[in-house]
Structure 1
Amino acid sequence: MSQQIIGLLNPLLAITWALAFVILWLFQKERKYILLIAFSYLAFSCGIFISNVGISAQSVLHVLGTHVSYSAAMITMVWGVSRRINAPPRGLLNLAILIGATPLILWLYLNSDLINIRVIAANGAYSVVLLIGAHNLWYSRKNTKLEYWLLVLFVLLAIQGLVRPVTFFWLEGAVLNADYRESIYYSTLNLSMSILSLLLALTLVIICIDDYWREMKSEAAISDASNAISNRKCQLDKLQQVMATNIHRNHDLTIKKLAEETGIQTHQLRRMINKELGYRNFRDFVNLHRVKEAQVMLSDPKFSTASITEIAFDCGFNSIPSFNRVFKAEVGETPSDYRE
């Protein structure tokens, strides 16, 4: 009776895990590996049910049903984990191992003297598939603690899958024809498998959640960067608009006043002028605008009667010496030479 209860509870637990992975997939549908893991647990639930409740252990359908279900679970589990890390799943190799083990398992089952050795043969095939998955994890890992832990679990499950039945049959003395499932050792040694399976499921759930969280953080960072670029462009446009009003003509113009006119914070405006526009400081930025306007006025016949001093003051300079110095530094000649 207890065996039947366990046989019902374990499949329900596996189905619960499958549903959990489906729910996780709904939040990140581009990650197909989550669906593969969900199918793996669904196949596990079928295998557990057939093994413990669904079909009589004396039937060949029991052997085939259990083996097919567990094989599908192993292949899709390794495939899903390998797909996540972009490793080759080696699906054909896994399939060949599991299909190749099927005739041996059936022959051992049909040979009444070796009926229980089929469990060792089947578990051996499953362990090899898990070790292939561990190999993929090792060579394609991203050096995260979760992936190292997942690798350890795959290796432990592979070792346990082979050692557990061998140890049980040795303790029970039931390598030959006997109903091993009625033994106390069977339930006791199954506890280790249950614990490792639970840890595997929890680890995979945490990995899926972690992948989703990392993606959300990445998208948020990209969005923030995009917003920052857009905001910076708006600020540059605003600065150009304000400078186009000839605010540089103001003799008392300071970076604080310009910041008030543009609506940009002073430290942001200073960083924009220095790093994005390439000026050494605010004064060089303003003086360049003044020099450009002076060049226009010195070249325009409409201002031919205006003195250089008048032009200098109209453009925002406070003194002739500073105007001459800045103009020559920017243009390469004095205002008088430029006008000629």
Structure 2
Amino acid sequence: MSSFYKNVLGAREGMIGLGILAALVFVVFPLALDVFRLNLVGKYLSYAFVAIGLVMCWGYGGILSLGQGVFFGLGGYCMAMFLKLEASTPQATAIQSTPGIPDFMDWNQLTALPLFWEPFKSFTFTLVAIPLIPALLALVLGAAMFKRRVGEVYFAIVTQAVALILSVLIIGQQGYTGGVNGITDLKTLLGWDIRSDSARVLLYFINGALLFGCILFGKFLLSSKLGKLLMAMRDKEERVRFSGYDVANFKVFIFVVAAIFSAIGGAMFTLQVGFMSPSFVGIVPSIEMVIFAAVGGRLSLLGAVYGTLIVNFGKSYFSETFPEVWLFLMGGLFIAVVMAFPNGLAGIYKDYVRPRLALRRGRVVREAL
């Protein structure tokens, strides 16, 4: 227990950090915000799943993926397909030419549900598919790249290409995927109306609980021997390889974990927002997700959550207050943070706040003596 407390939870300092974030997510936001704004924060927290995955594979493993939107989107589409089928009963779609199939399929003159949609009638299958399908794609992509020692900027470019290909494929296959509009008008989950205020509040808390579960799991992995090997591979990959470790397998594993985290975030995004579209799959959202991790600090799981919240709050504030120039303001904010504080918010705490707190504690101890 003491080892778990010290290594995984980070002892007293780590517990305080987790406690502050938990208080913010589960107490401050629910009490201070109305349902609409709380649901907006829930959407931001669904992005944080991607950011903490990036901390693990990029910050610790040195694997910069510019295509995490692919896994976020796949998780979201898996959930959206189940919800859309539940909303497309023959009674609810009686006015269509072909009742019982999603409306966008009917608009595109499909007369039967495609075979790959059939399994998503099952909620159990959907829950399994949300992490499994992105994990399989990450496994194939990672093995194909890392086994051939393709890394660094080349891997980043490949992940960008995958994001572009998937977004183009989704848009092009409108009859099967909803096209550029995505899968919309999602209403119920197992008969439970997800559009009501009470449902949005409950989904927010479920989202927060899952996020903390992923953070703790990430801390557990990074505090283990795997975490030390990831950092060693990031700094001296050849030395780790010559020590007898299969570097490729470790890279594939952490890349798959990051993909699963992203997929969980995508599924929760779909539940809270009520739709999923290719605008969350392509290159631009994937790069934004890297920005979340960079602003928060690419070596801090908690920092990634704060970075996600700050960047998205900034987007909302600037877009509402300065609609004509908000993109320039966001770009300037990001450049300023990266240039002045390359280690993000976590770096500010480590370099400036923590030393002052330690100095203050030392003074208190000396005065007590």
Considering the TM-score relative to the shorter chain, is it more than 0.5?
A: no
- TM-score after normalising by structure 2: 0.23
Larger radius of gyration: 1
TM-score, length of structure 1 as denominator length: 0.25
Select the structure with the greater relative contact order (CA < 8 A; seq sep ≥ 6): 2
